[in-house]
Amino acid sequence: MSADSSSPQILPGATLGVLGGGQLGRMFCVAARTMGYRVIVLDPDPLCGAGHISDVHIQAEYTDQAALESMAKQCDAITLEFENIPSESVRFIADKTIVYPVAESLEIAQNRDIEKQFAQKAGLRPVPYAAILSEKELQQAADDVGFPAILKSNTLGYDGKGQFVVNDVAELESAFEQVGKVDCVLEKKINIRCEVSAIVARNANAEMANFPVSENQHRNGVLHLSIVPARVSEEITKLAIENASILADAMSYVGILAVEFFVSEDDVLYFNEMAPRPHNSGHYTKDACVTSQFEQQVRMMCGLKPGDTRLMSPVVMVNMLGDLWLPNWADIFAQNNIKLHLYGKPEARPGRKMGHFNVLAEDVESALVVAEGVFSKLSDS
pLDDT at 246 over 70: yes
Mean pLDDT of 29-40: 98
CATH code of the domain covering residue 163: 3.30.1490.20
311: in domain: yes
276: in domain: yes
Residue 379, pLDDT score: 82
Mean pLDDT of 237-252: 98
> 159: pLDDT confidence band, cut at 50, 70 and 90?
low
> 7: pLDDT confidence band, cut at 50, 70 and 90?
low
Single-letter code of the amino acid located at 102: V
Residue 4, pLDDT score: 45
Considering Cα of 9, then 298, then 271, then 184, what sign does the dihedral take? negative
Of 316, 324, 312, nearest to 372 by C-alpha is 316
Query: In what order do the strands lie in the sheet containing 98-99?
Result: 56-58, 38-42, 15-19, 77-80, 98-99
Asked whether the beta carbons of 309 and 290 are under 8 A apart, the reply is yes
**String of b and e for 203-222 (b: at least 16 CB within 10 Å)?**
bbbeebbbbbbbbbeeeeeb
8: in domain: no
The C-alpha torsion from 236 through 242 and 244 to 246, rounded to 10°, is: -140
Percentage of the residues of the chain whose pLDDT score is greater than 90: 91
CATH code of the domain covering residue 227: 3.30.470.20
pLDDT at 3 over 50: no
Q: Are residues 262 and 308 in the same domain?
A: yes
Greater confidence, 381 or 247? Answer: 247
29: in domain: yes
pLDDT digits (tens, 9 = 90+) for 318-332: 999 998 887 889 999
In this structure, the number of other CB atoms found within 10 A of the CB of residue 141 comes to 22
Strands (E), 189-297: 192-202, 208-210, 214-219, 222-228, 255-264, 269-275
Q: Are residues 174 and 226 in the same domain?
A: no
Greater confidence, 189 or 159? Answer: 189
Mean pLDDT of 337-357: 94
234: in domain: yes
CATH code of the domain covering residue 103: 3.40.50.20
pLDDT at 40 over 60: yes
Q: Are residues 164 and 104 in the same domain?
A: no
Q: Are residues 134 and 274 in the same domain?
A: no
Mean pLDDT of 39-51: 97
Q: Are residues 352 and 237 in the same domain?
A: yes
Mean pLDDT of 161-170: 90
154: in domain: yes
| Last-in-domain residue among 78, 109, 140 | 109
Across all residues in the chain, what is the average pLDDT?
Answer: 95
Residue 326, pLDDT score: 78
> 5: pLDDT confidence band, cut at 50, 70 and 90?
very low
Q: Are residues 181 and 311 in the same domain?
A: no
| Last-in-domain residue among 149, 173, 188 | 188
| Last-in-domain residue among 74, 109, 144 | 109
Q: Name the residue range of residue 25's domain.
A: 15-109
Mean pLDDT of 227-243: 98
Asked whether the beta carbons of 205 and 251 are under 8 A apart, the reply is no
pLDDT digits (tens, 9 = 90+) for 90-115: 999 999 999 999 999 999 999 999 99
pLDDT at 231 over 70: yes
Q: Are residues 207 and 176 in the same domain?
A: no
Structural domains of the chain, count: 3
Q: Are residues 356 and 327 in the same domain?
A: yes
Residues, the chain: 381
pLDDT at 174 over 80: yes
pLDDT at 211 over 50: yes
> 368: pLDDT confidence band, cut at 50, 70 and 90?
very high
User: What interhelical angle do 23-34 and 293-301 show, nearest 10?
Assistant: 70
296: in domain: yes
Mean pLDDT of 185-200: 97
Of 90, 74, 62, nearest to 37 by C-alpha is 74
Q: Are residues 166 and 250 in the same domain?
A: no
Q: Are residues 243 and 361 in the same domain?
A: yes
Residue 170, pLDDT score: 96
Q: Are residues 299 and 176 in the same domain?
A: no
pTM of the model: 0.94
Question: What SS3 state is found at 104?
Answer: helix
118: in domain: no
Considering Cα of 114, then 115, then 121, then 126, what sign does the dihedral take? negative
Q: Are residues 253 and 171 in the same domain?
A: no
